[in-house]
Amino acid sequence: MSGKPQFDETVVIAAAIEVFRRHGYAAAAISDLTEATGLSRSSLYQRFHDKDGLFREALATYTQRVLRRMNAAKADTVRGRLEALLRAFLPDGSPRPAGCLIARSCADLRELSAAGKAATLAGAAHQREMLAGLLREAVAAGELAKAADIDALAWHYLGVLQAILNFAQAGADAGTLDRMIDVAMSAWPAKKQR
């Protein structure tokens, strides 16, 4: 026998993401995780050390997946890329997962270990920084005024993204969320005409 795990780690992490997304860190029991992942308790502990270790790997995988998806948005203008980024997360009619793991984890910060808190806050910061980067690019391209409040706008658009990811569970349909994006994009400061 080699010392290698006898399971598909990608499948295990994906299952753990769904458990943590649905229940949150605090309410996700080891029994929920073993049932969803198919791992025995001893295999889970041997590979991930504890629930926190599995959570941090699941969160890291989820964060990278969301960042790749955010980065994949394409358009001819920076404003268009931001709008495409937001619309890429609209519900498409397929069964939706239970919201955003990063947002769920932010709500659970008190329950997380120091490493879990750091990973959660870093995930949110990476999302916000990607949005701020787009906004700085828009300033450099002349699409956004130099005086634009990049920090406030980045937080604004992060809030919109989180709403898109989470409000479907609260009953907002794709049409409502699409109109919300229209409203959110109206916050893009118009450049003053000379």
Q: Give the length of the chain.
A: 194
Triad 156, 125, 151: Cα angle to 5°: 40
User: Which residues, at least 6 apart from 132, have a Cβ–Cβ distance to it below 8 Å?
Assistant: 150, 151, 153, 154
What class is the 9-185 domain? mainly alpha
Q: How confident is the model at residue 192 (pLDDT cuts 50, 70, 90)?
A: low
Q: Where are the domains of the chain?
A: 9-185
Higher pLDDT, 191 or 32: 32
Tokens read off for 37: 């992942």
Using CA atoms, how far apart are residues 33 and 15, in angstroms rounded to an integer? 8
| Cα dihedral 58→21→6→44 (10° resolution) | 80
| DSSP assignments along 126-187, one per residue | HHHHHHHHHHHHHHHTTSS-TT--HHHHHHHHHHHHHHHHHHGGGT--HHHHHHHHHHHHTT
pTM, to two decimals: 0.87
- Model confidence over 114-142: pLDDT tens digits? 999 999 999 999 999 999 999 999 999 99
- Model confidence over 133-173: pLDDT tens digits? 999 999 999 999 999 999 999 999 999 999 998 888 888 88
| pLDDT given at position 98 | 66
Q: What is the mean pLDDT of residues 85-101?
A: 81
Cβ(123)–Cβ(105) under 8 Å? yes
Cβ(78)–Cβ(143) under 8 Å? yes
- Mean pLDDT, the chain, rounded, equals 90
